[in-house]
Structure 1
Amino acid sequence: MPKLLALSVLTALLTGATPCPADPALVTTTDGPVHGTVGADYRSFQGIPYAAPPVGALRWRPPAPVQPWTQPRDATKPGNACPQAPGEPRTDEDCLYLDVTTPRHDTGRLPVMVWIHGGSFIAGAGTDIDARSFADKAHAIVVTINYRLGVLGFLAHPALDAESGDQSGDYGIQDQQAALRWVKANAAAFGGDPGNVTLFGQSAGGASVCMNLASPGAAGLFERAITESGGCVAPQPDKTIAERNGAALATQLGCTDLDCLRGKTPEQLLAAANAIPYSPTYSWHPVWGGSVIPVKPAVAFYNGQFNRVPLLVSSNRDESTILIAQQYPNGITEQQYEQLQATVFKADAAQVLAHYPGGDNPTLAFARSTTDWFFSCTSLATDQFASGFVPTYADEFADETAPGDPYPLYPLGAYHGSELQYLFGGTLSPAQQALADRMIGYWSRFAWTGDPNGPGLPTWPRFHPGDRIVPAFAPGRSMTVDLGTEHQCDFWNGLARQGG
């Protein structure tokens, strides 16, 4: 060992500090060494496999172990994204990879934050965000992951259950848990604390956080959780509905056995899945009622049957504005509005239409009603249920001027996903950047301690059962909002009690 290196190791042992490796771009994982990229304020290791490629006989099976390697693996570029919705140029099933981003100069056992991407469970990848700035500001290690999507990640079928123990419908969730086990085993090699892992995600990623909270298989794999725009009591499909869609897929492809289904190309599977009529209650999402997620998440949270860790629940004031704008770029008519509400709420549609009349802008009325029903009130219910069992913090992102492409029929406001620009970088005004720094401060403090409060940050009160008022994050001011009043939650709770 060279004298200078030996001296640095000895000094580290005597002082308790973490010795600097001879090559900061080289890290040895449990599967083999990886060689990444070192920047001015970050280290990046991309395209690390955490499970075997789920191809051939491994399609629609729980994730299998990686084949180890001995020579340094190139970790300077990301691995394949998982096959996506039709029209996306991503069809390679060899996609179970993760990326690790660490601060360049922080030493010691840093908290690890594992990010789950959104995309309605049919699109997206870990590379959708750039974690470098966040990792540096948060003084935390950030891991971003890919997981199986759509029909390849969430197909439910009795024949699959027969061979894997009632696990079908949730392969993508099992991928996430395999990635978390990898993090536990490898965090220390990157300078992280395997005993301090925060699972966080947005949209489908936020819903994934909830699914893992409700999954016995995720117990002990993370110590804190953050869900953005993904309330844990939002409607979720059960196994019966999912298996009906699985049977329809097999019929669509002319298959009567698993060998036939496994012989189809990803393109054929994605096209067939897309051809099955969309259901408001199911569209290739994780399911409950099997061994992976035994209990409906809403029931699990109500009864305390979830993995009890400190929880931060965030939602956006105008979640659905961008979703409706993307789906209906030319808007919807009053007649379409009534048909849409009837499709979703059936016998209760008349009450919804009376409470949210279309008026001069039925497109906006639909955006507001779906924001309140699906996002805001389910987030509030999550806050109220979870806070009886674990430390819970809740907020609403409320920047009405969040950057985004304009929509001619209404302002987008604090739309779905707009807060990601504040956490992971975007074109922001000075006031918005100050808000971004405050949000990163809260998120990182929560990862460090389980409490978002810390020096230099306005006090964030802990949520308690029965509360409705939460901090509202907007540039240049501190304010609060009554989520129940702003989003008509008494109406939606009453409708739910009636069976709506």
Structure 2
Amino acid sequence: MTRREFVQQAALAIGGLRYATAQTANGVVLKTPSGPLRGLQTDGVRVFRGVPFAQPPVGDLRFRAPQPVTPWKQVRNATEFAPAAWQQDKSHRRSEDCLYLNIWAPQGTGPFSVYVWIHGGGFTGGRSFDPMFDGTNFAKNGIVVITVAYRLGVFGFLDMEPLLGSSYRGSANNALRDLIASLTWVKQNVAAFGGDPDKVTIGGESAGAKLTCLLMGVPSASGLFHQMISESGGAERIWSKDRANQIADEFGAAWRAVGGGAAITKAAPGELIVAQERMIRTSPVHFPLRVEIDGDLIQQTPLATIRGGSTRGKRLLIGTNLDESASFIGTHPAKDADSQDLGNLPVEKFHPIDHAYKKLYPNLSPEMRRIRSVTAEEYWVPTMRVAEAHAGGGNETYLYRLDFPGEGHYAGLAFHSYDLRFAWNHLPPEAAANAKTLAGTMNTAWTAFLKGEALSGWPAFDNNKQTTMILDVPSHVAQRPHAEELALWNGLLTQ
């Protein structure tokens, strides 16, 4: 499995767990500013699935910014999940008509804190309704959980201006605009579910964490959330306008190579995915589909915007897992890191870093040094840069690193997506006692953060001490745990 295939299926790779809800459920009808909804009430939690937050981005709206949803008067059924955004993965229903969200709300009038979750999947895969993101546990603890969808691949992350004309300028940011549209809907409607529209936390893992960090650098979105949670993210997944145009040209070449006609706006979505996959295979860069500095929604790099104060007064919980890249390059890599392993640096710039790791960690096996260096390149260093930018403005910041060792195929390693089962407290019944202890620790900390409460025994991060919570059994606090390693990256991966 390639690195991109893994992140597309991250929630499935964490064990294929399924979480049963009660067998009996009662219908519940709720009036919202958008219109009345019929959901289900199960285990004391009200659940509404497949709620539209924007007009379907189809027909003339393909590759266009999302438009506000049209309010409805009749009771709308919200008991079934909507299809996932169109993508290569065929294991679940897909549709271009994908701009829907799902809500788990506590009983009562609130006001409750709100958690808006952005799924991962490498910008080309994933879904908002994966069982891992069932919000029942958080809702039982007094939090409204909302999982949101966004357009994937070329539908949400490709600038179509070079191919379709100036009216499509900035379309590489449509997925980001989808998320802003979902947050706008939440702001206007969440009070109907008992949620507090002024206490909204956005969060995500992997690509969802990167999108969270990117949203931190969008000034126009600032008033839509007051806290952020980033699990294995960073703000580096962005192109200049010129580079975005080059990627568009690459897609145009791939479109022609697979026999696509000129009417990209009218083509079947599956045809566009075929061209997308060809473009990704032949592109000289990894993850070519990214948001862009379009001069409108995004005017400079997110880190520069965060340093300029775009997140002033907000709280941030951010971190990574110790061995993220074991999931992509394996525990016994057969080759040196190449462009298929690296997310940010070209291989020629990475080789000196790779050599420096051999000097810094002479006792680590070559395999573990490779996992560690590629993890730093994609996750740890970009995460640290966001934490430093946010904390540098005097903003409350909490940094973590998950070290707890996994089992099975990744025995002894804290691999990519491993954090999800603990933060959401979704462990199988047969999980070991120490794993359940960690799940209790992390879920309690996440819950407290979401409610705006202090984190017990977890000091805030600052740029001098770089205080980090090491999540393990037992967990402990460390200062500057990566100081020598981070020094190797000075002058690289900065914006």
Q: TM-score range by the shorter chain?
A: 0.7 to 0.9
| Aligned counterpart in structure 1 of residue 460 of structure 2, from 462, 466, 472 | 462
2-structure distance, mates of 1:137, 1:445: 13
Separation in 2, partners of 1:339, 1:117: 22
Of the three residues 376, 386, 400, the one matched with 2:380 is: 376
Segments of structure 2 that go 5 or more residues without pairing to the other structure are: 1-25
Question: Highest Rg: 1 or 2?
Answer: 1
In 1, distance between residues paired with 2:75 and 2:366? 58
C-alpha distance in 2, partners of 1:180/1:168?
Answer: 19
What corresponds to 2:487 in structure 1?
Answer: 490
* 1:367 aligned onto 2:398: no
Cα-to-partner distance string for 1:200-248 (whole Å, 9 max, x where unaligned): 111111111111111133121111111111123x353222222211122
Q: Residue 51 of structure 1: SS of its match in structure 2?
A: coil
Alignment of 1:86-485 (within 5 A): 90-104=93-107, 106-128=108-130, 129-159=132-162, 162-163=166-167, 166-232=169-235, 234=236, 236-254=238-256, 260-276=263-279, 277-280=282-285, 282-306=287-311, 309-325=314-330, 331-334=333-336, 344-357=345-358, 362-403=366-407, 405-407=408-410, 411=411, 413-424=413-424, 425-427=426-428, 428-449=431-452, 451-453=453-455, 457=456, 459-480=457-478, 482-485=480-483
Shift of 1:338: 10
Change (3 A) 1:243 1:363: farther
CA contact under 8 A between 2:344 and 2:493: conserved in structure 1? no
Shift of 1:90: 4.5
Conserved? CA contact 1:309–1:390, under 8 Å: no
**Any idea what the Cα deviations from partners look like across 1:125-161, whole Å, max 9, x if unmatched?**
1112333333235310000011000111111132567
Counterpart CA distance in 2 for 1:311 and 1:245 is 32
What is the CA–CA distance in structure 1 between the aligned matches of 2:387 and 2:465, rounded to whole Å? 8
Identity of aligned residues (%): 29
Counterpart contact for 2:312–2:393, Cα < 8 Å = no
Q: 2:388 and 2:297 mapped to 1: Cα distance?
A: 25
Equivalent of 1:32 in 20, 32, 35: 35
Contact 1:86–1:274 (8 Å) recurs in 2: no
CA contact (8 A) 1:115 1:144 kept: yes
- The answer for the alignment partner of 1:14 in structure 2 is none
TM-score, normalization by structure 2: 0.84
Q: Distance in 2 between matches of 1:298 and 1:142?
A: 28
Q: How many residues align?
A: 459
Seen in structure 2, the aligned counterparts of structure 1 residues 467 and 157 have a Cα distance that, compared at 3 Å, is: farther
Rounded to whole Å, the distance in 2 between the matches of 1:340 and 1:199 is 28
TM-superposed CA distance for 1:320, in Å, is 1.2
- Going from structure 1 to structure 2, the CA distance change for 1:272 and 1:258 (only over 3 Å counts) comes to closer
Tell me how far apart the structure 2 counterparts of residues 251 and 306 of structure 1 sit (CA, whole Å): 39
State how far apart, in whole Å, the 2-side matches of 1:423 and 1:369 are.
Answer: 25
One-letter amino acid matched to 2:297: V
SS state of the match for residue 247, structure 1? helix
CA distance in 1, matches of 2:481, 2:220: 32
1:365 CA displacement: 3.2
Q: Shift of the alpha carbon at 1:430?
A: 2.6
Residues 27-59 of structure 1 show CA distances to partners (whole Å, capped at 9, x for unaligned) of: 112221111111123111000011111111100
Quick one: distance in 2 between partners of 1:43 and 1:267?
36
Say if 1:343 and 1:396 are closer, same or farther in 2 by CA, change over 3 A: closer
Residues 139 and 430 of structure 1, relative CA distance in 2, 3 Å threshold: farther
Amino acid aligned to 1:490? A
Instruction: State the one-letter code of the partner of 2:178.
Output: D
